[in-house]
Chains A and B, each alone.
Chain A
C-alpha cells in the first residue's frame, strides 16, 4: 500500500519525464538562441572576419533600422507577402469551391490541386527557373522579353518569385479551404437554397461568412509561410543580385547577413524585427484559435 503523497509524487515524476525531452530541445534550440539574439544585437562585428566583435549598445539597432537596405528589404517583404497571400488564398478557395461537389473525378482533381504542397522551394525554383529562363524558357515564345531578363529585372523579379511562391502555396491553401468547406454545415447551405438565394447572394452572404474562420486561418498560415520564403530567391537570384532586383526579403537578408557577410550582429537585429512582425500575426492566430477550439471533455 502506497501513500497518497508517494503516488502524487510518482505522477509528477512521470509527467516531467514525459515533458522533458521536448523541453530540453526547446530550451537549447529555441529559447536560448532567441534570447541570445537580444545580446548579439548589441555587438557589432568587424568588417573582416576573425577580429573580435565589440559592444556598441543600441547604435547597431538604430543604424540598421534606418538603413536604406533595411527599409528596402522591409518594402520588398511586404510587397512579396501582399502578392502571395491574397492570390494564393483566392486561388485555393476557387479551386476548393469547384472541387467540392460529389461528381466523377473529383478525387483526382483534389489530389492534383493539393499536389504543390509537397514541392519544396528548391523543386519549385528549379522547375520555374527553366520556364522563366530568358533563352530556353517560355517567355520569348510568348513575346515577353524584358530587358534585363525577368529574374534580373528590378521591376519583374519580385513578381516572378512571387508567382513561384503562389504556385507552391496553392496546394496548402486548397487543402485548408477544402477542410473548411467539408466542415461547413450542409443544412445551412440547403436552407439558403430553399429560401431562393441566388448564386452570388449565396456566395457572398452565406458561403463566405461561414467560411470566414477558415479563410482567416489560411490568411495567418499563408502570411507566416510568405514571410519565411526565400529559397526561390537564393536559388534563382542569389545574394549578389537580391538587393538590385528588390528581392532581398527580410529572411533572405538574415541569411546573407549571417552566411555571406559574416555579421551575426546584423542578423540578430533583423531576426528580432522579423520576430516582432511574426509575433503580431501569430498572436492574432491565437486569439482566433482560443475562440474556436472546443474541448469534448472537462
Chain B
C-alpha cells in the first residue's frame, strides 16, 4: 500500500506532449479516477506509473521512492488492461496464478491464493476454462482476479469496463468499488465515462490536452468546476456558458439582462463568462429571449435546446409534467441567478466564488 506522487511529470512523443507538467498526489488507499476526453493523456499517465512508458520530465514516486528509473517488474503494481490481456493458452486458474509463479512461493500457497482471489470474484466454477470459453464479464473478472492475487501496492485500471454491455457495466462498477474499499489498495482508474467517474472515485482528476484541469471529489467537481472546460465537460449535458458584461447591478448579455446575484456581486467586474447548469434554467416570462431549437424527451425529464438572441445556445432541463414547447416558437429563458457560476476571461473560475 502506498501513495503515488506525480511532480511536474511530462511525457513527450516527439513534439506531442501527451502528458504536460502533471502534479498530482494519490493518497494511500484512495481510488482516483483519471477522466478526460479521448487522447487527453490518461493512458499515458497510467502507463508511466506502471513503468511501461518512460517519464520524459519530472519525478514520479510510489510510496516514498522515486520510480522514474525502476523496472516495471520491481514497482509492485498490477494493471487491468482494457483488452484484459489474458493468456489465451492458459486456464483461468493458470492465468490468475501466473503473477505468483514468478515469486518464490510454494505450490500449496499459490493454490490457496488463487482459490481466494477466484472466490472473491465468483470465479470458482470457471477455473478450468480457457479465456476463449468465457463471456466478456467473466474475462473481466479474471483480469481483476489476476490483479488482486498479487496484493500489489497499486492497482492500475485502463477503461476496464469499456468492453461490457451497459447493464453489466453498472454491476461490475459496483463490484470494483466494493472490492477496492475492502482491499484498501491505492487505485488509479482511467475512464472517459463521467458517470463511471462520478460514481466510483474518491476524487476525480480531469485532464485535457495532457494538462490536469482540476482534481476534486465528485460533488465539488460538479458544484465548483475550476474552469469552463471542466464545467462544460461534466454533466449531461454540460454546463451552459454565456458571455456577459457586468454593468452596475446588471449582467448584460445579447439576449437580455440578469440581476447580479448576491454571491457574485463583490467579485465581478467587466467581461465575464457565466455558467449555469440546465436545471438552473426554466422556460419563463422574463429573462433571456430566444427560439426553441430542439426538444429531447428523455423519460423523466425533457431537455429543451434554445437558441438565444446573439447566437449562444443553452439547454434547459424540465420535469416531465411541464408543458411541452413547440419547435421554432419564441421563448423566454428564466435564470436562477443564485445558481450562476462565473469564469474570468482566461476561463478559470473567478476567485472567491
Contact = CB atoms under 8 A, between A and B. Distances in A.
The short answer to whether A and B are in direct contact, CB under 8 Å, is: yes
Contacts of A7: 69, 71
Nearest to B67: A1
A184 to B, nearest CB: 24
Nearest to A5: B69
B156 to A, nearest CB: 20
B134 to A, nearest CB: 20
B170 interface: no
B54 interface: yes
A240 B71 CA distance: 68
What class of interface size applies to chain B in its complex with A? under 10
B327 interface: no
Interface in B164-178: none
Nearest to B83: A297
Interface residues of A, number: 5
Contacts of B69: 1-4, 7
Contacts of B71: 2, 7
Interface in A1-54: 1-4, 7
B70 interface: yes
B85 to A, nearest CB: 11
Contacts of B54: 4
Contacts of A4: 54, 68-69
Interface in A133-181: none
A273 to B, nearest CB: 47
Nearest to B66: A1
B50 to A, nearest CB: 15
Given A1-B69, A3-B69, 9 more contacts: A1-B70, A1-B74, A2-B69, A2-B71, A4-B54, A4-B68, A4-B69, A7-B69, A7-B71
11 contacts: A1-B69, A1-B70, A1-B74, A2-B69, A2-B71, A3-B69, A4-B54, A4-B68, A4-B69, A7-B69, A7-B71
Closest 7 CB pairs of A and B: A3-B69, A4-B69, A1-B70, A1-B69, A4-B54, A7-B71, A2-B71
Interface of B: 54, 68-71, 74
Interface of A: 1-4, 7
